[in-house]
A and B are shown apart, each in its own frame.
Chain A
Amino acid sequence: DAEITQSPRHKITETGRQVTLACHQTWNHNNMFWYRQDLGHGLRLIHYSYGVQDTNKGEVSDGYSVSRSNTEDLPLTLESAASSQTSVYFCASSESWAGELFFGEGSRLTVL
């Protein structure tokens, strides 16, 4: 069955370190998204991509970057982790840009 997987599921890091969260989907979806979820804020869009070599900033993109070198993967990089980036991160993909999102199981990141 097609799926979307995130790794690692849990990570603890220190302030200032670079962190990369992986997202891999096997649906062959062109559209992929990264969200963060925090209490009181719901789901907020960090970055998104409509296809290979395409990346776009979402509403909370500062301190994050993504790259899309193939259809299956959209890794999220925190260049210099900050405590404010402690959160649960969800990757999602969709077949159409306006269609339903399929979410991964999430990556819980703690920045000390």
Chain B
Amino acid sequence: GQQVMQIPQYQHVQEGEDFTTYCNSSTTLSNIQWYKQRPGGHPVFLIQLVKSGEVKKQKRLTFQFGEAKKNSSLHITATQTTDVGTYFCAGLDSGGSNYKLTFGKGTLLTVNP
């Protein structure tokens, strides 16, 4: 079945440093979504990428979707303590009619002030 691998599992940075998490799928994706979950909270939608090679920015966050639509990345420039949380990618399989949005295991980001 479809697998979505996300690395790294954990990342600790000093405030002001950059952060990147990577997501790789075993199958070609229709779209990829990114979510953030604060400690003790619930996942909150950040963005959805649909097109091959797509790049989207939200303030200090940059999201990329690979040309082959099998990988994606989230880059945070100059991290702040408010960025703390777990970042999940979720890939929607393009094959078949059954719903197959598969989440990666997430990257836990901690930021030292």
Contact = CB atoms under 8 A, between A and B. Distances in A.
Overall SS of chain B's interface: strand
A12 to B, nearest CB: 18
A103 B102 CA distance: 15
Interface string B93-113: 000001101111110000000
B80 interface: no
Contacts of B33: 100-101
Interface residues of A, number: 22
Interface residues of B, number: 23
B28 interface: no
A56 B33 CA distance: 22
A99 B48 contact: yes
B31 interface: yes
Contacts of B6: 42
Nearest to A49: B99
B43 A43 contact: yes
Interface in A67-99: 90, 97-99
